[in-house]
Amino acid sequence: MAIIIQEMIDPFYSGVCYSTINPDNPRTIIEFTYGLSDELMSGNQQGTIASFDQNLRLTVEHECAALDLERVAQIAKNLENVFDQTLDLEFIVSENRELYLVQIRPITDPEWQNLEIPEIDTSRVLLDAEITRGAGSFTGPVFVFRSPTEMRKYAKTQNKQALIEVEKQWDKLEKFNRENTDGYCLVLDNLEACETLMRNLRLSNLKALITVNYASRFSHPIKVISETGAFYLGVLGRKDLLDSIETEDTLTVISNQSKGLVFDLTKPIVEQKKIELEGMPVVEYQTAMTMIRPHYKEVDNKLFIDEADCVGVCFWDYNEEKGIPTDVFYNLVDKDGNIIVTENKYISGQAMYTFTDCPSLLRDLQPQAKQKIQKDRT
């Protein structure tokens, strides 16, 4: 391509239009934002998405201002007929409502397979997305990646150093990508670090990408991801899923370019382990209830038992920073030493503050353990 010089126009709003998503989904989609669309294209800004059916009737997928987008859709369809191919258009609408097309080119997506979304019981569905790009079906492990901004907030609540935690997350994803040669699904809150991820890690084994607090078909990172053969689902306002899903969980994700589903979230099977109770310091529950700060060190490697229900909590590791507990790792065990729940982390930022006593931790864990034992007995 030669150099193209265009007059700079200060836009009222601007965006991207796909004349047709695909032959099986004959919708015209527009994604736009007020002002210049550079932040929209980079994935740093959430745009507004408008969808037109075959008769150019507007159906809004997200809140849409009353703008004259029908002209853009109509021109896109007319040009599609002229060139006899689906088109990717970038446009600007000026302050006086003049429409400018600044780029037109064929849509360069791969040829995706035709898939039918199965009827799934709603109790199995974790996420239902209307914003998708690409098509495919994948069942396998998931990696939960928090954007740097979100990770810094998360680290702060855990009394950890944000920069170190961000670096740890990058290292873990790099290792996860290498190890999961059969593929994996990546769940992010937004695309803040997505281009860096692709450039530095390449994500060679990625099969599906999900953003839970961002949705865009047309931003550059999503386009690059789709060109690798991975497919994408995006929703808004579901950041809660970052805590509901854990890295190494398995799930199924499917998309047909019109709709996407995430369902059948399962936890990896943990091999049953047994703790040798012989010789382990044991403190009865009522006694443990009296162990309060500053005697936290007394909880190291001790088993607390409620004789009535035979429930125990074994603290097998303990970290401390400036006299304040940071992380407590524990196992719930039954009276025979069988581990009921393995290697759970009880985070200080969530429940154990400077003046919170250790017995409050036990109170929280007791219902979990009792419920699990009762379920196993039945």
Question: What are the pLDDT digits (tens) for 167-196?
Answer: 889 999 999 999 999 999 999 999 888 777
Query: Is the per-residue pLDDT at 198 higher than 80?
Result: no
| Residues paired with residue 354 on neighbouring β-strands, in sequence order | none
| Distance from the first to the final alpha carbon of the chain | 71
| Residues paired with residue 321 on neighbouring β-strands, in sequence order | 324
Q: Do 262 and 342 fall within a single domain?
A: no
115 falls within a domain: no
Q: Do 287 and 232 fall within a single domain?
A: no
Q: What is the pLDDT of residue 300?
A: 54
* Domain, as residue range, for 259: 122-266
Which of 76, 106, 136 terminates a domain? The answer is 106
Query: Is the per-residue pLDDT at 351 higher than 90?
Result: no
Give the range among 10-24, 71-85, 108-122, 274-288 with minimum mean pLDDT: 274-288
Question: pTM of this prediction?
Answer: 0.66
CA distances from 219 to 30, 81, 194 (A): 12, 25, 11
Rg (CA), the chain: 26
Q: DSSP 3-state helix, strand, coil percentages of the chain (rounded to 5)?
A: 25, 35, 40
Q: Do 42 and 88 fall within a single domain?
A: yes
Q: Do 126 and 260 fall within a single domain?
A: yes
Distance, in Å, from the CA atom of 259 to the CA atom of 128, rounded to the nearest integer, reads 8
Q: Do 307 and 339 fall within a single domain?
A: yes
Q: Do 134 and 256 fall within a single domain?
A: yes
| Average confidence (pLDDT) over 4-17 | 86
38 falls within a domain: yes
Query: Is the per-residue pLDDT at 304 higher than 80?
Result: no
116 falls within a domain: no
CA distances from 308 to 128, 274, 305, 376 (A): 45, 21, 9, 17
Q: Do 134 and 259 fall within a single domain?
A: yes
Measured over the CA atoms of residue 33, residue 35, residue 38 and residue 42, the dihedral's sign is negative
Q: What is the pLDDT of residue 143?
A: 96
Nearest to 229 by CA among 193, 202, 247: 202
Q: Do 38 and 66 fall within a single domain?
A: yes
Within a 10 A sphere around the Cβ of 30, how many other Cβ atoms? 25
Give the range among 188-192, 198-202, 350-354 with minimum mean pLDDT: 350-354
Nearest to 146 by CA among 208, 194, 111: 194
Q: Do 18 and 84 fall within a single domain?
A: yes
Query: Is the per-residue pLDDT at 249 higher than 80?
Result: yes
Domain count, the chain: 3
Q: Do 147 and 259 fall within a single domain?
A: yes
Return the structure tokens found at 328: 């407590």
Higher-confidence residue of 72 and 348: namely 72
